[in-house]
Amino acid sequence: MRDLVHPWAAAIIALMVGIGVAAHAQVVTEIIDPPLEDPVLEARAQTVHKQIRCLVCQNQSIHDSNAGLARDLRIIVRDRIAAGDTNDEAIQYLVNRYGDWVLLKPPFKAATLVLWLGPILILLLAGWSARTYYRATPAQVAQAVPLTEEEQRRLAEILDTEA
């Protein structure tokens, strides 16, 4: 019976899987940083981590990122929480240094008004446009295309014959 997979192909697949596993293992060891001993505090720290944007890889939270700076910030958040900060105080600590930018959810204030209200405004505008468009069209069409003389004559003819 012939082998289903060529021995060389099998060897290459094995090698690639091996490299994948090794690479993955390396990443895992890199991102480990010591959790707090108290599971309640650690859970709070992680809640904060998930709200803080990584400054290096901008669309990840520091919880998800394995950038060096994200790790440093995770440890700082843990330190603040262990020292008795509330979650909001720990977040404010980072906002003071990096600005609102570190928040994955931007706060609602004067500078972010357009960001929060813009979509609603655009939706209202679209609704208003649609309303005017659909309301105006039938009347406009009737008005814009009056019957030609030929059509008028034929219409009169038809009406006459029926009468």
Partner 1 sequence: MTMRPMTYMPPVMFAVVAVALALGLLFVNPKEIPSALIGQPAPTFDLPSVDGTPHGLSSADLMGQVSIVNVFASWCVPCRIEHPLWVEVGASGEVPVYGLNYKDSQENASQWLADFGDPYTAIGADLNGRVGVDFGVYGVPETFVIDAEGLIQLKFIGPIDRFALENEILPKVRELQALMVADGAE
Residues 6+ apart with CB under 8 A from 100: 106, 107, 111, 112
CB of 150 to partner 1, least distance (A): 24
Beta-carbon contacts of 69 under 8 Å, excluding residues fewer than 6 positions away, are 54, 55, 56
Helices then strands, counting H and E runs in the chain, come out as 6, 0
Positions in the binding site for partner 1 (CB under 8 A): 55-56, 58, 68-69, 72-73, 76, 95-101, 129, 132-133, 136, 140
**Toward partner 1, which CB reaches closer, 36 or 98?**
98
Residues found in the chain: 163
Q: Work out how close the CB of 128 gets to partner 1 at its nearest, in angstroms, rounded to a whole number.
A: 11
CA distance 106 to 5: 54
Whole-angstrom distance, CA of residue 163 vs CA of residue 159: 6
Distant-in-sequence, close-in-space partners of 112: CB < 8 Å, separation ≥ 6: 100, 106
Nearer to partner 1, 126 or 155 (CB): 126
